[in-house]
Amino acid sequence: MAEDKKKTTIIPIGPYHPLQEEPEFFELHVEGEKVVKLDINIGYNHRGIEKLSESMHFDQVPFLVERICGICSTSHPFAYVNAVEDLAGIEIPDRAKYIRSIIGELERLHSHLLWLGLAGHFLGYNTVWMWVWKVREPVLELFEKITGNRNHYAMFKIGGVRRDIPNDEINAIMKTCDEIAKFLEMLYKVVMDDPVLVARTKGVGILTKEEAIEWGVVGPTARASGVDIDVRRDDPYAAYDMVEWKVIVTQNGDVFDKVVVRILECFESIKIIKGCLKGLEKTKEGNIETVVKNIPPGEGIGRHEAPRGEVFHYVRSDGTNRPIRHKIRAPSYMNVPSNQVAAIKGTISDAALVLAAVDPCYCCTERCAIVDLKTNQSRIISGDELVRMCQEKTKKIIEEMGIKNE
């Protein structure tokens, strides 16, 4: 391997755009069309949040960790308040539990819809992309109505939530959920029936159950490989053990299964939201927090099942008003390394799809270096080119199947 390194030089082209696209650097080592090795370089977006957290008092930290990610912005505050409540042994009112779960599940809905749209784009189905994002919009509008923001909701605090959902807003949320469910049913049928989509994603980028366990992957990436884990059910928090729902598990571990898991999870999210809304009707308006004055010395672990999988927070307190250690582990930290086995079984044209299938907060494929091991030449190709290759393969399948597509 050392010899290969000597012969190849990899130079990333263009400036990084940490605000718009998440900079991760994948090095694909290929033989002809086949990917034989994958190197992942990260850290371009490292902001030292764990260290920053040590300089803030406990009540400020939710705002900080909310900014770790824009898409799953509520997942980190969720796990953090769970950790501090575990540390201090705080019980929160039922109404706050329901509201927490509603926010968490609405976030899963919009995150999964975002991914489904992008999956459509990667496959060359730009209609699906636009279509799905159109349906995502009402979810964001709902967020604006409930929290005041389309993103970064600032709803979580230690001991409860910051804002109530008034009971007269319940009907509007129910209605939006019904509309999304109707669309999802159609989308699910489309995915299952479309021969091209099935041919393009079935058997691509397989992560076996053994590999999934070995790499410790979480969330839909694990569940699509037959690993039956979900923090919401296994270690219940908020209102997840107070409403009816089930965990979606499929067995094949390919891209197709990851699509199916995510679509079916959206239905479960809607079920949870509706259950929680019914719960809200039963509890008293305004009773949304337990007042917390001091955080005692000790340590606590909090988890939340984010759209991409388990978020893990560990907080240690020495009795002052700031954490002395705050460890944060996001789900992609476990899922992205598994590409080292999932992506090397396919071709370059599958790579964009496989890398995107773990939902690594997207755009991580934007800057790729392709190293041809036979000629030992390296060339840098952009994410756009990878997506184009991916789309062309879909077109080829369409032609081979003799389907006329407008």
Q: Which is nearer to another protein, 190 or 213 (CB)?
A: 213
Cβ of residue 207: shortest distance to another protein, in angstroms?
Answer: 12
Among 86, 265, 268, 366, binds another protein (CB under 8 A): 86
Q: Can residue 314 be called a binding residue for another protein (CB under 8 A)?
A: yes
Q: Can residue 334 be called a binding residue for another protein (CB under 8 A)?
A: yes
Q: Is 389 helix (H, G, I), strand (E, B) or coil?
A: helix
Among 71, 204, 224, 229, binds another protein (CB under 8 A): 229
Q: Which stretch binds another protein (CB under 8 A): 24-32, 39-47, 281-289, 372-380?
A: 39-47
Asked whether the beta carbons of 5 and 347 are under 8 A apart, the reply is no
Q: Can residue 361 be called a binding residue for another protein (CB under 8 A)?
A: no
- The region that residue 374 occupies, defined by phi over 0 for left and psi between -120 and 50 for alpha, beta otherwise, is alpha
Q: Can residue 333 be called a binding residue for another protein (CB under 8 A)?
A: yes
Q: What is the dihedral of CA 124, 336, 216, 253, to 10 degrees?
A: 20
- Longest alpha-carbon distance in the chain: 71
Q: Can residue 241 be called a binding residue for another protein (CB under 8 A)?
A: no
Q: Is 261 helix (H, G, I), strand (E, B) or coil?
A: helix
Q: Which stretch binds another protein (CB under 8 A): 27-35, 154-162, 292-300, 344-352?
A: 292-300
Among 25, 26, 156, 215, binds another protein (CB under 8 A): 215
Structure tokens at 115: 């991914």
Q: Which is nearer to another protein, 42 or 154 (CB)?
A: 42
Among 2, 11, 20, 89, binds another protein (CB under 8 A): 89
Q: Can residue 10 be called a binding residue for another protein (CB under 8 A)?
A: no
- The region that residue 342 occupies, defined by phi over 0 for left and psi between -120 and 50 for alpha, beta otherwise, is alpha
Phi then psi for residue 285, to 5 deg, are -60, 140
Instruction: Count helices and strands (H / E) in the chain.
Output: 16, 9
- Residue 346 per-residue DSSP state: S
Which letter, b or e, does each residue of 29-59 get, where b requires 16 or more Cβ atoms within 10 Å of its Cβ? Answer: bbeeeebebbebebeeeeeeeeeebeebebe
> How far are the Cα atoms of 76, 142, 144, 166, 400 from residue 173, in angstroms, in the given order?
24, 7, 12, 11, 45
Cβ of residue 90: shortest distance to another protein, in angstroms?
Answer: 12
Q: Which stretch binds another protein (CB under 8 A): 145-153, 193-201, 256-264, 312-320?
A: 312-320
Q: Which stretch binds another protein (CB under 8 A): 66-74, 107-115, 153-161, 213-221?
A: 213-221
Residues found near another protein in the complex (CB under 8 A): 42-43, 46, 48, 50-51, 86, 89, 213-216, 228-229, 231, 234-236, 298-301, 303, 310, 312, 314, 316, 325, 327, 329, 333-334, 337
